[in-house]
Amino acid sequence: MREPEELDPAGSPDPLQDVGDMDPEAFRRYGYAVIDRITAYLDDPGVWPVLPDIQPGELRARLPADAPEDGEPMDRLLADFDRLILPATTHWNHPGFFAYFSISGSAPGILAEALTAALNVNAMLWRTGPAATELEETTLDWLRRLMGLPADFVGTINDTASLSTLHALAAAREADPDLAIRQLGLAGRSDLPRLRVYCSADAHSSVDKAVLTLGLGLDSVRQIHTGAYGGMDAAALDNAIRQDRSDGIRPMAVVATVGTTSTTAVDPVPAIADICGRENVWLHVDAAYGGVAALLPELRHVLDGCARADSLVVNPHKWLFVPVDCSVLYTRRPDVLKRAFSLVPEYLTTTDPSDTRNLMDYGVALGRRFRALKLWFVLRYFGASGIRSRLRQQIGMARDFAMWIDDDASFERMAPTQFSVVVFRFRPVGEMDEQRLDELNMQLLQQLNSSGEVFLSHTRVSGKYALRLAIGNIRTTPAHVGRVWQLARSAAERMS
């Protein structure tokens, strides 16, 4: 229902004109109004509780069942954004957001997103997005050099690491042309051996999802146990591959992780690359979070051995201050990736030179957003040194927190802290009962998160319940990290 006295003519579709877009003056006015809102929000997202006080279904119940028949004024849309959407949002921008992997869509990236939306380019072909295609090549070359990866790594941008890993494993499957899976598929064939994908027990679930999407079946994933510090046991991988071969199973790919989601452990990639090289098995490295650390000379070693990988995924939307979504898949075998996905129907053929790169050839999606623009803005605005100093600050805060844990007899660290994540638990002096410790730590997490000031998540390390403090928000300062410690200490005292 419209209340005519509230109607702002500049903000609602002109009733006399039922065609065309918002008029430029109204666009300018509401454009400024949106920027003002973003500015106020980002200036202090901490005024919101990091987790909204809301139950599933509550927002839907407040929204109309049908789309409006008549256009509504922009003022009302913006008012509803303030009234309905903001309070129902988990505030990833909150400096007390320490759950999962804390991320930042920084200001230059947000502005680039607006420009991307305005251009509305669909870069399926070079022809349909020359700037998007070539800026993607250039920015991914920049990032590759910053990470110290060799020149034969060719990158493409996907939405998420899950898609990047799916694409990598599809390429791995295509790498053995004798299997003829592209043409004949997997179903109904008695001539195919079972294909195997190896990863550590702590690998991300996106590996399993890729395998089930590719029709290999979850039984095709063989989890290799981890050794000290959570990295894959390379000798166990070697044995598993030998054993599979002697059982007539074809090893298809190994997924090594640099920075696991649970504890940020790093698999021994050099040893894994030796095995993959000898066995002629595709090596994919999941560095979705940890890969960015290689921008720091002192952490460059986390990518040791990765130059020999066939593919590697890193997410600029995770720890490089680029707004969601932006995941980069590098591969040394772009020809194989292309063979896995290239299909050119008549209506998409072009007269451009045959070596012109068309992004649609490198994955499932035909249409491609112009995601390189935000990566370009972020890399240029902060510069490599600006990004390095922000990463160093976050790693420093994580080390401080780890030190406080180590110095307190009633807390313990559950994994090494080499990036910006601290895995720890409360352990009252003398308490040995593991079940009791699990319960205490669940309570601790619940108390921290109900404060509204901070949001942490949990994991299990060798079966033991542990809390994760993940630092990655560009607004998080030592004071915010200190506050978590204060809250944890006082909750622990209450429980002791």
Ligand X SMILES: *Cc1c(COP(=O)(O)O)cnc(C)c1O
Binding site for ligand X (CB under 6 A): 101, 160-162, 204, 206, 257, 259-261, 286, 288-289, 315, 318, 327
- Residue 449: φ, ψ to 5°: -75, -25
Shorter beta-carbon distance to ligand X: residue 207 or 271? 207
**SS3 label, residue 312:** strand
Shorter beta-carbon distance to ligand X: residue 288 or 398? 288
Nearest to 319 by CA among 288, 348, 274: 288
Local structure of residue 424 (DSSP, 8 states) = E
CA distance readout (Å), 146 to 259, 294, 295, 315, 379: 18, 8, 5, 14, 10
Per-residue burial over 254-286, b = 16 or more CB atoms within 10 Å of its CB, e = otherwise: bbbbbbbbbbbbbbbbebbbebbeebebbbbbb
Shorter beta-carbon distance to ligand X: residue 153 or 289? 289
Q: How far is the CB of 317 from ligand X (least distance, A)?
A: 7
Task: Give kind and range of the element (H or E) at residue 198.
Answer: strand 195-200
Q: How far is the CB of 323 from ligand X (least distance, A)?
A: 13
Q: How far is the CB of 45 from ligand X (least distance, A)?
A: 21
Q: How far is the CB of 324 from ligand X (least distance, A)?
A: 8
State how far the Cα of 440 lies from the Cα of 172, in Å rounded to an integer. 44
CA distance readout (Å), 85 to 57, 62, 149, 204: 13, 11, 42, 31
Shorter beta-carbon distance to ligand X: residue 139 or 162? 162
Shorter beta-carbon distance to ligand X: residue 318 or 468? 318
Q: How far is the CB of 194 from ligand X (least distance, A)?
A: 25
Helix, strand, coil percentages (3-state) for the chain, rounded to 5, are 50, 15, 40
Q: How far is the CB of 168 from ligand X (least distance, A)?
A: 12
- Give residues with Cβ within 8 angstroms of 437, minimum separation 6: 425, 426, 427, 431, 464, 465
Shorter beta-carbon distance to ligand X: residue 260 or 331? 260
Positive or negative torsion for Cα 431, 437, 443, 447: positive
Shorter beta-carbon distance to ligand X: residue 104 or 358? 104
Q: How far is the CB of 328 from ligand X (least distance, A)?
A: 11
Number of alpha carbons in the 13 Å side-chain half-sphere of residue 153: 28
Give the ranges where 428-477 is alpha helix by DSSP (H).
434-449
Shorter beta-carbon distance to ligand X: residue 128 or 206? 206
Q: How far is the CB of 364 from ligand X (least distance, A)?
A: 14
Shorter beta-carbon distance to ligand X: residue 167 or 480? 167
- Give residues with Cβ within 8 angstroms of 39, minimum separation 6: none
Do the beta carbons of residue 123 and residue 356 sit within 8 Å? no
Q: How far is the CB of 287 from ligand X (least distance, A)?
A: 7
State how far the Cα of 124 lies from the Cα of 285, in Å rounded to an integer. 26
Shorter beta-carbon distance to ligand X: residue 102 or 261? 261
Shorter beta-carbon distance to ligand X: residue 102 or 257? 257
State how far the Cα of 140 lies from the Cα of 155, in Å rounded to an integer. 6
Nearest to 214 by CA among 364, 365, 366: 364
Distance of CA 371 to the CA centre of its chain: 14
Q: How far is the CB of 160 from ligand X (least distance, A)?
A: 3
Shorter beta-carbon distance to ligand X: residue 329 or 444? 329
Q: How far is the CB of 404 from ligand X (least distance, A)?
A: 25
Place of tokens 């700037």: 131
Q: How far is the CB of 176 from ligand X (least distance, A)?
A: 25
List, in sequence order, every residue forming a beta bridge with 470; answer none if it has no partner.
421
Q: How far is the CB of 243 from ligand X (least distance, A)?
A: 27
Do the beta carbons of residue 457 and residue 472 sit within 8 Å? no
State how far the Cα of 161 lies from the Cα of 75, in Å rounded to an integer. 37
Angle between helical axes of 161-174 and 206-213 (0-180°, round to 10): 50
Shorter beta-carbon distance to ligand X: residue 267 or 453? 267
State how far the Cα of 126 lies from the Cα of 467, in Å rounded to an integer. 46
